[in-house]
Structure 1
């Protein structure tokens, strides 16, 4: 393992730096050193970062970098990198670029030939995954689902056949509705809702998607940042053509062709184009 050498000033470049997701002590020694010595710290919200800096007694120049000012800020940042500055990029919590701004900055810095590296650390995605009591050998991070139910259900239908544990971020006020849609699209899979990770009131609630949806419908929106982890689909025995037709006919009897196809794709994991073609034949559509 390479031993860190504390220098008077970091080498020029862009440093993508993870910060705590809740507990302020969950930050690496390397990150504390870098943030204390770099020329500039780019923050998703300077007020949030200022609280972390106050706890760790860091005196550093900061500037906002978020979705609303990124296009204006990137040329300025690239000029500073060209001038040989060491610049850190942090988000409000966790690892930058994971559902946070920063991708285009990294992309343009790499394209310009600047040194770009990461100071890894806390991540709510990995923290929730390790606590969910679900398979971790393969997982797919899907970020935030759409706030519109129709679009959300379509997204879930597309994710249903992925042979891996699914990880989502979600807001508290939509949690019950999202879990209900997940139960409809993904069936009775085991899942976990993790909130307030690493904080005093950390909670991980486990159960089927239906059980979790019912709980939060009754209990109301919880407090804190939320991660939903959903177990992978069960391996199914191969279905014969007669069984697929029966499923399609049942779905077509109570739903539109589009929704029927999405339902059967979610249930079987079969390619959508194949299910759609057979649904057209059964419905007599041209």
Structure 2
């Protein structure tokens, strides 16, 4: 397979370009001059919420028309947007705050443009995860950005079981009304001594950092009124148990691999998920093998 080379600005192309434009996560002063110029000069802005983006455009006196592009109309909009790009129009894609594609729409449109050899031009700019990380005081790299955890209890617990032995710093996003539930699940999965920083209302007037361990963070969420959007920076596991150290042995059966992880303390469902991931298999395949289902 040959490397496919696409230049953002050099060479002749009959198509337009897709610009990925970050928007402020709170403080409008974080909007870069290049971002403003790009939104002024493109033919159309694909916005996650045209009402929110209209406020931003009005503030910077940008007159460019918008079209809605969000998680509920992605498949419907992509062919239309790609056709406009192929016809030579330049488009900008923005989410409500921060980077497109990071816990927001964007990835599917980028993929569609790449398939049609339409140049995709990313602009640097505001990002809540990295903004929180550098101010947390917790080791900044290596880190794992996760975003929003699953909402269903069963899925949440299974996911945290696989992350409990992660040695890298973990970054999560969370809404205020779910913070207490998420911190309780983290406390149960990681233990109360794990260090955490709750980063609230980043770049806004009430920006605040709450530093301590998971027990203290949970107590805070249980006793005080919680407001604002949160980024959670959780320290990695400095003493991972054997589950992290069990190496994949291709000479072992899938069942034996699951049993080896279960022996270290992982629950069967979490072990099945981990073995499926290591072997690049569907979870059901490993589940059937472990339970000897033909």
Instruction: Tell me whether the two structures share a fold, i.e. TM-score over 0.5.
Output: yes
Aligned to 2:199: 194
Aligned to 2:88: 84
Whole-angstrom CA distance in 2 between matches of 1:263 and 1:46: 50
Residue by residue over 1:188-247, the C-alpha shift from the partner in whole angstroms, topping out at 9 and shown as x without a partner, is 210011111000000110110111001111113x222111110010135879xxxxxxxx
Structure 1 pair 169–76 and aligned structure 2 pair: CA distance change class (3 A): same
Partners of 1:157 and 1:263 within 8 A in 2: no
1:257-276 mapped onto 2 (5 Å cutoff): 261=262, 264-265=265-266
Whole-angstrom CA distance in 2 between matches of 1:167 and 1:117: 26
Partners of 2:169 and 2:236 within 8 A in 1: yes
Whole-angstrom CA distance in 1 between matches of 2:29 and 2:263: 45
**TM-score for both structures, normalised by structure 2:** 0.77
Aligned to 2:151: 147
Residue by residue over 1:21-44, the C-alpha shift from the partner in whole angstroms, topping out at 9 and shown as x without a partner, is 000110111111000110000100
Provide structure 2 residue ranges, at least 5 long, that are not aligned to the other structure. Answer: 1-8, 10-14, 244-258, 276-290
Residue by residue over 1:249-273, the C-alpha shift from the partner in whole angstroms, topping out at 9 and shown as x without a partner, is xxxxxxxxx9x9499249xxx9966
Residue by residue over 1:51-86, the C-alpha shift from the partner in whole angstroms, topping out at 9 and shown as x without a partner, is 111111111111100011111111110100001111
The number of aligned residues is 244
Whole-angstrom CA distance in 1 between matches of 2:132 and 2:45: 27
Whole-angstrom CA distance in 2 between matches of 1:165 and 1:121: 22
Whole-angstrom CA distance in 2 between matches of 1:28 and 1:125: 18
**TM-score for both structures, normalised by structure 1:** 0.79
Provide structure 1 residue ranges, at least 5 long, that are not aligned to the other structure. Answer: 6-10, 240-257, 274-284
Whole-angstrom CA distance in 2 between matches of 1:63 and 1:226: 29
